[in-house]
A = this chain, B = another copy of it.
Amino acid sequence: MSKLVSTITGREFPFGRLEEFADNGEALEVAVPNIRGARPRAGASVWERFAEFLPFKAMNASASLGEGNTPLMDAGASLKAFTGIERLLLKNETQNPTWSFKDRGSLACIFMAREMGETLTATISTGNMGHSIAAYGARAGIRALVFVPEFAPREKLMAMTMHGATVIKVHAPDYALMKKTVLGLAGEFRLRIVSGNGPIRTEGYKLTAFEMHEQMRGEPPGYIAVPTSACGHIRGLFKGYRELLAAGLITRLPRMIVVQAANNSPIVTAIKRGLKQVVPFTNVHTVAEAITTGNPMGGDEIIAKASQHGWLAEDVTEDEILEAQRVFAQAGYFVEPATATSLQAVRKLRAAGRIAPGEPVVLMLTGAGLKDLDALKFQPCSIVESSLDAVRRDLETALGSRPG
């Protein structure tokens, strides 16, 4: 029987617990029994193959939208030249059903809801997670309830409502205050409100580690760079590798790289300063909208893990983010600004000699560029304006040569 365990003190809680954190804010995670003897088996999807590593009893393909099975690509010459990293790989999570990494966590949420007999799943989100939960709720016939802040862009709200989610926009002076108020209603209403860093979603994200384990034929990468906001993604990826180690399927862990925007770097700042606790950021403003959690719950655990396991941490300026988005696109990958942060982070860490040469470095492509079109207003858009009469001449100019 699986149980929830505090990542800080080791205190135990029942698996079905509604609240995602202990009363004192300690992050919880699932302790899967018998992980030492767990082995992958044959199966069409990664959650079928790694079923022994998962805590859910109610796993069924009817909950799946076809998430995962995303490519792990050689990054290509231009990105290797930009970063100075020879073995640079891209794990493209934008090829998930709602075009972000969030879908893996949403699958886990639906498995959990079904196991607990819940008919509703709730979340607080500005965008990607709400969109994903709305889609998975629709697929599974489980009602989705998404609390959004007033600054959530209309496109993302449209996607949620198209999927049939109930969307409650809470006008409030501060997003953190809004989150706290809504989470305060969870117990009273017997409502499971999943967050980006809860123990359930984390079980979904660890599937990405299992998939990379298969794709790299059992070799863990040297480093995995993860744009970090609520912390669930980096936590889940590392938990996956920890469980592969516990099961005896690998002999060493990858080193994680915590990446944040300099304008909102509560974890990276703490790690760089050698502090043990999150350095809260308020009134956050960054073009990397998907990573704007200024005071992440459970962030202290990430800082502790960074110290214990020799993780790296780097922050990235606004100009660096926009540059990296262009560099990514000119290598074929149109990613959202939050994703672009990791490219600059590994470039800077490599230049500083913090990343050892020769080791594989994986960048997680967390979200599609189409998910954050607002950010494009900061990018140049150079178009040749032409006409039927002028197109011959304009083509000649563009090609820099005459026909023939």
Contacts and interface: CB of A to CB of B under 8 A. Distances in A.
Interface stretch (A3-11, A15-23, A226-234, A386-394): A386-394
Given A69-B71, A370-B368, A383 B61 contact: no
A124 B164 CA distance: 36
A58 interface: no
B178 A388 contact: yes
Interface in A292-309: none
A132 to B, nearest CB: 10
A369 to B, nearest CB: 7
Interface in A73-97: 73-74, 76-78, 92, 94-97
A352 interface: no
A162 B326 contact: yes
Contacts of A178: 388
Nearest to A158: B376
Contact of A386 (B171, B330, B383): B171
A154 interface: yes
Interface residues of A, number: 87
A96 B70 CA distance: 10
A157 interface: yes
A213 interface: no
Count the copies: 2
A61 B75 CA distance: 11
A99 B383 contact: no
A325 interface: yes
Given A92-B97, A395-B185, A403 B369 contact: no
A190 interface: yes
Given A65-B332, A334-B135, A404 B190 contact: yes
B171 A398 contact: no
A189 B403 contact: yes
A166 B368 CA distance: 22
A302 to B, nearest CB: 29
A385 interface: yes
A99 B161 CA distance: 21
Given A95-B95, A135-B332, A383 B169 contact: yes
Given A368-B370, A385-B171, A388-B177, A97 B332 contact: yes
A66 interface: yes
A284 interface: no
A370 B171 contact: no
B325 A172 contact: no
Nearest to A180: B388
A145 interface: yes
